[in-house]
Amino acid sequence: MAPGIGAAGIMGIAVEDLIEPVLAGSPAAGGALTAGTYKYYVTAINAVGETNVSNEVTVTTAAGNLTAALTWGTVTGATGYKVYRTASGGATGSELLVTTLGVVLLYNDTAVGAPAGALPVQNTAFNPGVYTAPTKYVPFMSETLTSTQATIFRRPIRQSADVIGAVPGNFNVAGDISLECMEDCSIYFLYASRTSIVRTGTTPNWIYTITPTATAIPTRTLSITMVRNGIVFGFTGCVVSSYIFTTSTGIMMHNLKMLGRDEAVQSLPTATWPTTVPFGAGQYSIEVPTGTPVLDTDQFNFEVDDAGSPEFRLKSIGRGAQFIKYGERKVALQLDRDFDTRTDFDNFKNLVSDTMTITASKGTNNSVSILIPTNFKDTYEVQNSGQGDLVRAVIKYVAAIDGTGKSYQIVLKTQEAL
């Protein structure tokens, strides 16, 4: 008997970008490389960027064989390749750019030209809407991803009150995903949000600084593979339209509203599940204003809504959305607090803004920190309950941009390399 739908559920995700080439190399006759040992990388490029580096290959040249013959496999969607090389005896990671090539699968390095140009630090060769097999598997609480098909049922006037037939209409993917917030999973979804992301740090401890942008059309998209009771669904061109970080009985949740361009049927994947755990009680710091921790808050709800919508264009291949566009952004926050000061309520009436930082941390290198630099209280609810009860305040904030043009910033620390 097949397992129940929940027991058989799998969610696999991948950023839709070009994959890295697989490199091979060996010494060959001729050439003018100085005899020695060289290390090589190769990357693939397209119109928008460059992949991460390939596997590293070491080639040792000697008299009579002063050429490094390099070959690599085809990367679908690539418009060219870049080759990087160390100096003789150089260390891993010290490779510099040797040459930029077209759509070829080999290069004979004969020491023509001096290497110059650093290695890429992140994959920027985005390939939106092209299905990519899962590279990360995400435990989730629920999902409602749906293939939305706007079928046109024809009712022309022709001596009939019935539907005459059907014509294909526009098609897109939409739905919600709810998961426990785990830093190595959440970063993938933030990567497909309306943000710029800068990665710093060193392996394995990466720091991602996530800042909202005004871009109208996303360049970074996800493929989401769902397995429901053994049946596989592949959704392409998926982006985050809105998302919420919140707490539920102490556990931090990440709830997402997704939009996608199309669907592709794929083969059944074999999941490899992460071993990270969500953020729980005793792992939160609430600072109002930033730098001043408070201990009277037991619930927060941080929401970013970028008002995404699918855009359809007339085309000859497929009925999926051509792209997803973003609209006006709203950033809101709700705190549930003990009420013990009139000053905070007066600040609400006087439109005094707050700076706020919310951090969930499991250690120095595993955390999610949300900074809201300019918060205005939108509503402030204070009520008396029964005798002996605490007086509680439910405060709803709306974020505005600060002097640098950002309404929020997220700093995420994880061992996950993207």
Cβ-in-10-Å burial (0-12, 13-18, 19+) of 134 comes to buried
Q: Is residue 130 part of a domain?
A: no
Give residue-wise pLDDT tens across range 290-315: 999 999 999 999 999 999 999 999 98
pLDDT confidence of residue 266: 85
Q: Quick check: 411 pLDDT over 80?
A: yes
The total number of residues shown for the chain amounts to 418
Q: Is residue 254 part of a domain?
A: yes
- Secondary element (H or E) of residue 331: strand 330-338
Nearest to 211 by CA among 2, 414, 407, 417: 407
DSSP 216-277: SS-S--EEEEEEETTEEEEEEEEEEEEEEEEEETTEEEEEEEEEESEEE--PPP--------
Once rounded to an integer, what is the mean pLDDT over residues 274-278? 96
Q: Quick check: 222 pLDDT over 70?
A: yes
Q: Is the peptide bond before 218 cis (omega within 30 degrees of 0)?
A: no
Same domain membership, residue 200 and residue 334: yes
Same domain membership, residue 332 and residue 279: yes
Give residue-wise pLDDT tens across range 313-353: 998 988 999 999 999 999 999 999 998 889 999 999 999 99
pLDDT confidence of residue 3: 57
Q: Quick check: 1 pLDDT over 60?
A: no
Helix, coil or strand: residue 346 = helix
Q: Is the peptide bond before 204 cis (omega within 30 degrees of 0)?
A: yes
CB of 100 closer than 8 Å to CB of 233: no
pLDDT confidence of residue 246: 98
Q: Please list, in sequence order, all residues whose beta carbon lies within 8 angstroms of the beta carbon of residue 44, skipping any fewer than 6 positions away.
A: 18, 19, 20, 21, 50, 51, 75, 78, 80, 81, 125
pLDDT confidence of residue 249: 87
- Secondary element (H or E) of residue 348: helix 342-349
Which percentage of the chain shows pLDDT scores above 90? 88
Report which residue type is found at 370. Answer: I
CB of 159 closer than 8 Å to CB of 187: no
pLDDT confidence of residue 234: 96
Domain membership of residue 265 as a residue range? 136-414
Give the chain's domain count: 2
Same domain membership, residue 402 and residue 285: yes
CB of 399 closer than 8 Å to CB of 172: no
Q: Is residue 126 part of a domain?
A: no
Separation CA 132–CA 264 (nearest Å) = 10
Q: Is residue 123 part of a domain?
A: no
Separation CA 55–CA 308 (nearest Å) = 38
C-alpha count within 13 angstroms, C-beta hemisphere, residue 167: 5
Residue where a domain terminates, one of 44, 74, 109: 109
Same domain membership, residue 159 and residue 251: yes
Structure tokens at 210: 């996530």
Range list of β-strands (E), 150-230: 152-154, 165-167, 171-180, 195-202, 205-212, 222-228
Q: Quick check: 6 pLDDT over 80?
A: no
pLDDT confidence of residue 122: 84
Q: Is residue 96 part of a domain?
A: yes
- pLDDT grade, residue 5 (50/70/90)? low
Same domain membership, residue 189 and residue 45: no
Once rounded to an integer, what is the mean pLDDT over residues 180-186? 97
Mean per-residue pLDDT over the chain, rounded:
94
Once rounded to an integer, what is the mean pLDDT over residues 245-270? 94
Same domain membership, residue 296 and residue 395: yes
Same domain membership, residue 292 and residue 176: yes
Separation CA 165–CA 391 (nearest Å) = 62
CB of 206 closer than 8 Å to CB of 417: yes
Q: Quick check: 196 pLDDT over 90?
A: yes
pLDDT confidence of residue 317: 86
pLDDT confidence of residue 352: 94
> In the block, which residue shows the tokens 């609400």?
348
pLDDT confidence of residue 112: 81
Q: Is residue 243 part of a domain?
A: yes
Same domain membership, residue 331 and residue 405: yes
Same domain membership, residue 269 and residue 194: yes
Give residue-wise pLDDT tens across range 351-378: 999 999 999 999 999 999 999 999 999 9
- pLDDT grade, residue 221 (50/70/90)? very high
pLDDT confidence of residue 387: 67
Same domain membership, residue 293 and residue 229: yes
Same domain membership, residue 326 and residue 177: yes
CB atoms within 10 A of CB 140: 17
Q: Is residue 168 part of a domain?
A: yes
Separation CA 284–CA 250 (nearest Å) = 9
Structure tokens at 225: 């593979």
Q: What is the CA radius of gyration of the chain?
A: 26
Give residue-wise pLDDT tens across range 32-91: 999 999 999 999 999 999 999 999 999 999 999 999 999 999 999 999 999 999 999 999
